[in-house]
Chain A
């Protein structure tokens, strides 16, 4: 199904549902589609019709009765079967058609294939990130293969062990896969619809780097940071940092999940930022304001402060490397993710003031305060 139709997290996974909600709210996200959980179910029905293999995992991984080497072998075997088994043809045809629509007949799209687990973003938040994401996948056969790899990644040892610790039933498990046209941003980063430092809700705080946002998330690069007033649009703070490195995609590689500490895995290549771009702001004032406007739109849509991942694309959407800040083509902003801000939401700041019997009493008490 298309991203715009992705609603129910039980069907399309957390990531799929979140991107779907953004798309329906009119926010640009990289175009793509979701292979819903029924695709996974159909595939597993072909690979493990009776559920015996999965029951075996449950038994081997049971708390206290664990046999790590045995479990590892069983996992590997199941993963191999999933990766090797051809997809049931209705599922394969649907994926092939949806993928074709993302590109041109003579120029198939570069896509990212991302796991979208149904447990993601729920109480077991740390479960997110245990499954695989593949960047730079090109051509229908490769896409089909990497969808299978995503499914298979549900059965890597860490995931299984994690589920066994929580006692989650293997039979109920499902996974959706999001396939999105690959974003090769000129700049990318995060933004918060309130100040992460002071909690101020009247500003949008934006952090950005050249190239992929992984440079920022991994802590590889100190990002440029900007504070924009939601009310006046004024950019009240700009801190331009020397951005010595730039992350870019490397085709056909497995990428560590974006929020894990080892964010620049094999899928990301780390290069020295061209000298003339290091100290240049990665965003123009207009781009900063455009980002802030989108942030406000997303916040209004969810009705709560948000923590957002964004990417800035040049008009053609696929520059190979960051270009000069004054690139002639109009940029485009897409969001990769939005989730509720949690740090300040949990705090209860003291009120800034309370009304007094007479307005002038505010002044009287100000000057009455001892030094």
Chain B
């Protein structure tokens, strides 16, 4: 494991010129250590395709302490402990800590069996309880008040003998926000690792029985039809229909502005009021859908920014007028899924194999609703509320001149925000301005500048010596890192972007690279969408495009599933497609091989 085979060592990575000071953005425990040169690390481009703003490193720090606790300490996975992460030049590299000693594996397996078995045996009821706990966490994080720090406390604080002034709650409530985020991530991983395990065994079985089967075909046998990811788009279609029925559809025109439409609806009497009421009902919770996957503060929800739904609505209204708005053919999708599953089942030569197939497929379908829908509760709903709550603290700090604007708070690590809040607390109590106003703004300006510089760095896909074999199912399952993938990293083709073949077919066309869902109005009919990640909030664009390419995701990701339903090619999990492909490039998307070639 000491011989270097192609990838640079962590210690050999030079600072990006102009951003030599990047370490000042990140915590000491995220730095590569000299002994880290002995281990294999890979760039987690799937979750962290952009350089990390200081606050956003919490989306590494918190998930990794939750995932590791789950696998290493809670369920005692036999062959794997947790995941370590390091930051270099703003990018997050990770490595898994394997358990190699057979005696130790056996000792852990004895604990793992009953613990994991309990969750599988009680999956549905545990999942019901899980949803309740997540909703409670969301309610709690939304209810946390950011102190307003008025000139004087309201009188009832005195007459009610509360005795504690608001500045106390600056840090307490900020800590509660962070604590709830951590709890959410513990619940996120609570059932997910086991759920992925069910997928992996079924994928492996199918690949053994049908060596030519594609991941996407296995995924189609598993996929649920009635999952939350379709709900936001369904709501939009229903709102479009309602607008037509109520006769307010004339307001929804190409390029319309959300706030202008809302204001106009206010002047449309009962019809306008009825539509606005329906919108309000749909917004909570279905508009809590994120435009990203929840790993960056700029992944906003529809509720945070109504641009996406109001870009899609005119199209749906027009489609109703033209009689072309179709709803998802759920019956057909279900019968198709069953046809595929029974088709493969019948090809299995023995009754034993058919019985094993039934068990594994059954297990996948048992875990599917959780694996699919947890993202809505965790990465979308909770996380977008979480970032908005942190932004409220940012707004407070901006009001007192500690930082320039609310969004600047995301350029401070949470421990620095804690310092700023301590400063603000002291200043408000003392009746003096906080000192942070002379401290943080230049730091934030420098960090913004460095992030811009770091954006242009191309991180090596991996660092350190290549392991002899990479067979850990957990690593394969979570990261899709296989020996073949590493080989491809070592011999890259400059014109070919390689990802996961997610939806079959080959298409050539003009690429449209979008970094944010707010840009979707620039998309032209028949273009090939290239994005960091798609989420249910992107659903409306699939009616327009010829193929989808994403930096993030696997065969079960949103883009993959929706593309298959639309019957268009998709390649997902490319890592750096949005960097290597430019808008206007002519590209060939090969959804069979999982490649995108710039022509």
Please indicate whether A and B come from the same complex rather than being unrelated chains.
yes
Q: Which of B197, B209, B348, B355 contacts A366 (CB 8 A)?
A: B197
Interface status of A273 (Cβ within 8 A of chain B): no
| B449 shortest CB reach to chain A, Å | 44
Instruction: For the complex, give the distance between the alpha carbons of A230 and B78 in Å.
Output: 39
- In angstroms, Cα B117 to Cα A190, docked, is 49
Interface residues of B in 427-468 (CB under 8 A from A): none
| Chain B residue at minimum C-beta to C-beta distance from A351 | B353
Q: Are B469 and A362 neighbours in the complex by a CB distance under 8 Å?
A: no
Residues A234 and B112 in contact, CB atoms below 8 Å apart: no
Distance A133 CA – B261 CA, assembled complex (angstroms): 78
**Residues of chain A within 8 A of B255, CB atoms compared:** none
Q: Nearest Cβ distance between residue A365 and chain B, in whole angstroms?
A: 8
B77 within 8 Å of A (CB atoms) = yes
Interchain CB contact (< 8 A) of A352 among B208, B358, B472: B208
List 9 A-B pairs, minimum CB-CB distance, nearest first: A360-B120, A352-B209, A198-B211, A231-B343, A355-B355, A353-B356, A359-B359, A352-B208, A363-B197
Would A370 and B352 count as touching, CB distance under 8 A? no
A232 within 8 A of B: yes
Q: Find chain A residues with CB under 8 A from B18 CB.
A: none
> Residue of B at shortest CB range from A354?
B352
Inter-chain contacts of A195 with B (CB < 8 A): 211-212
Cβ A200 vs Cβ B208 within 8 A: no
A363 touches B347 (CB 8 A): no
Encode A320-344 as 1/0 by CB contact (under 8 A) with B.
0000000000000000000000000
With both chains docked as a complex, state the minimum distance between the C-beta of B96 and any C-beta of chain A, in angstroms. Answer: 10
A356 at the interface (CB under 8 A from B): yes
Given contacts A237-B592, A363-B201, contact A200 B211 (CB under 8 A): yes
- Can you list 13 contacts pairing A with B, beta carbon distance less than 8 Å? A202-B212, A202-B213, A202-B347, A232-B217, A232-B340, A234-B216, A235-B592, A351-B349, A354-B356, A355-B359, A362-B198, A362-B201, A367-B197
Is B105 part of the binding interface, using a Cβ–Cβ cutoff of 8 Å? yes
Q: Which chain B residues in 475-514 approach chain A with CB under 8 Å?
A: 504, 506
Given A234-B592, A359-B366; 15 other pairs, CB 8 A cutoff = A195-B212, A229-B213, A229-B217, A235-B504, A237-B592, A352-B348, A353-B205, A353-B352, A354-B353, A358-B120, A362-B356, A362-B359, A366-B200, A369-B79, A371-B98
Picked from A231, A237, A353, the residue with its CB within 8 Å of the CB of B217 is: A231
User: Which residues of B pack against A, CB within 8 Å?
Assistant: 77-80, 98, 100, 102, 105, 109, 112-113, 116-117, 120-121, 194, 197-198, 200-201, 204-206, 208-214, 216-217, 220, 339-340, 343-344, 347-350, 352-353, 355-360, 362-363, 366, 469, 471-474, 504, 506, 592-593
Contact (Cβ within 8 A) A370 B343 = no
User: Which residues of chain B are near A370, meaning CB under 8 Å?
Assistant: 79, 100, 102, 105
Residues of B within 8 Å of A7, CB to CB, are none
Contact A356 B204 (CB under 8 A): no
Tell me, rounded to whole Å, the shortest Cβ–Cβ distance linking B432 to chain A: 58
Chain A residues within 8 Å of B200, by CB: 363, 366
Chain B residues near A52: list those with CB within 8 A. none
* A66-83 interface with B by 8 A CB criterion: none
Contact: B213 with A364, CB < 8 Å? no
Contact of B77 among A355, A358, A367 (CB under 8 A): A367
Let me know if A360 and B212 touch, CB within 8 A.
no
Residue in B102, B340, B359, B471 with the greatest tally of chain A CB atoms within 10 Å: B359
B79 CB contact (under 8 Å) in A353, A356, A368:
A368
Q: Let me know if A369 and B473 touch, CB within 8 A.
A: yes
Interface centre among A198, A232, A355, A358 (most CB of B within 10 A): A232
Contact B78 A368, beta carbon cutoff 8 Å: yes
- Bound form: Cα–Cα A371–B348 in Å: 28
- Distance A358 CA – B122 CA, assembled complex (angstroms): 13
Q: How far is the CB of B112 from chain A (nearest CB, A)?
A: 7
- Whether the pair B212, A364 counts as a contact (CB closer than 8 A) is no
| B361 vs chain A, min Cβ distance (A) | 9
- A50 CB-CB contact with B under 8 Å: no
Chain B residues within an 8 Å CB radius of A229: 212-214, 217
Cα–Cα, bound, A295→B357 (Å): 26
Q: Is B220 within 8 A of A232, CB to CB?
A: yes
In the assembled complex, the CB of B82 is this many whole angstroms from the nearest CB of chain A, namely 14
Interface assignment of A238: CB less than 8 Å from any CB of chain B: yes
Asked if A355 and B356 make an inter-chain contact with CB atoms under 8 angstroms apart, the answer reads yes
Which B residues lie within 8 Å of A311 (CB)?
Answer: none
CB distance from B256 to the nearest CB of A (A): 39
Q: How many angstroms between the C-alpha atoms of A327 and B425 in the bound complex?
A: 79
Q: Which of B109, B353, B471 contacts A353 (CB 8 A)?
A: B353
Give every chain A residue within 8 A of B472 (Cβ-Cβ).
Answer: 371
User: Cβ of A89 < 8 Å from any Cβ of B?
Assistant: no
Interface centre among A203, A235, A362, A371 (most CB of B within 10 A): A371
Please tell me if the beta carbons of A236 and B116 are within 8 angstroms of each other in the complex: no
Complex: how many Å from CA A205 to CA B100? Answer: 41
Shortest Cβ gap from B571 to chain A (Å): 14
A250-292 CB mask vs B (1 if < 8 Å, else 0) is 0000000000000000000000000000000000000000000
A355's nearest neighbour on chain B, judged by CB, is B355
Which A residues fall within an 8 A CB radius of B?
195, 198-203, 227, 229-232, 234-238, 351-356, 358-360, 362-364, 366-371
Report the minimal beta-carbon distance from A286 to chain B, rounded to whole angstroms.
Answer: 13
Residues of A within 8 A of B213 (CB): 200, 202, 229, 236
Given A202-B344, A360-B117, A360-B120, decide whether A368 and B109 contact each other with a Cβ distance below 8 A.
yes
Q: Knowing A234-B504, A352-B356 are in contact, say whether A368-B201 is a contact too (CB < 8 A).
A: no
Residues of B within 8 A of A358 (CB): 117, 120-121
Given contacts A234-B217, A236-B504, A356-B359, A351 and B79 within 8 Å (CB-CB) = no
Nearest-neighbor residue (CB-CB) of B105 within chain A:
A370
Give chain B nearest CB distance to A128 CB in angstroms: 31
- Please, how many angstroms separate the alpha-carbon atoms of A356 and B205 in the complex? 13
Contact present for B360 and A201 (CB under 8 Å)? no
What are the residues of chain A within 8 A of B593 when measuring CB–CB?
A: 237
Report chain B residues within 8 Å CB of A199.
Answer: 211
**Which A residues touch B216, using CB under 8 A?**
234
Instruction: Point out the residue from A201, A231, A356 that lies within 8 Å of B340, measured CB to CB.
Output: A231
Complex-state Cα separation, A227 to B348, whole angstroms: 19
Query: In chain A, what residue has the closest Cβ to B501?
Result: A236
The reply to whether B212 and A200 contact each other, CB–CB distance below 8 Å, is yes
State whether A366 touches B504 (Cβ < 8 A).
no
B344 to A231, Cβ gap below 8 A? yes
Whether A362 pairs with B592 at a CB distance below 8 angstroms is no
| Distance of A281 from chain B, by nearest CB (Å) | 10
Which residue of A has the minimal Cβ distance to B355? A355
The residue on B at minimum CB distance from A361 is B117
CA distance A360 to B340 in the complex (A): 23
A355 touching B352 by the CB < 8 A rule?
A: yes
Closest residue on chain A to residue B201 by CB atoms? A362
B190 to chain A, nearest CB (A): 15
Query: Pick the contact of B112 from A230, A356, A367, A371 — CB < 8 Å?
Result: A367
Say whether A364 contacts B102, CB under 8 Å: no
Contacts of A363 in B (CB 8 A): 116, 120, 194, 197-198, 200-201, 363
Q: How far is the CA of A72 from the CA of B340 in the complex (A)?
A: 61
Residues of chain A with a CB closer than 8 A to B80's CB: 367
B261 to chain A, nearest CB (A): 42
Contacts of A371 in B (CB 8 A): 79, 98, 100, 469, 471-472
Complex contacts, B198 vs chain A, CB 8 Å: 362-363
Q: How far is the CB of A302 from chain B (nearest CB, A)?
A: 16
A351-B352 in contact (CB<8A): yes
Q: Which residues of A contact B220 (CB under 8 A)?
A: 232
Which residues on the A side are within 8 Å of B355 (C-beta)? 354-355
Given contacts A351-B350, A352-B356, A364 and B113 within 8 Å (CB-CB): yes
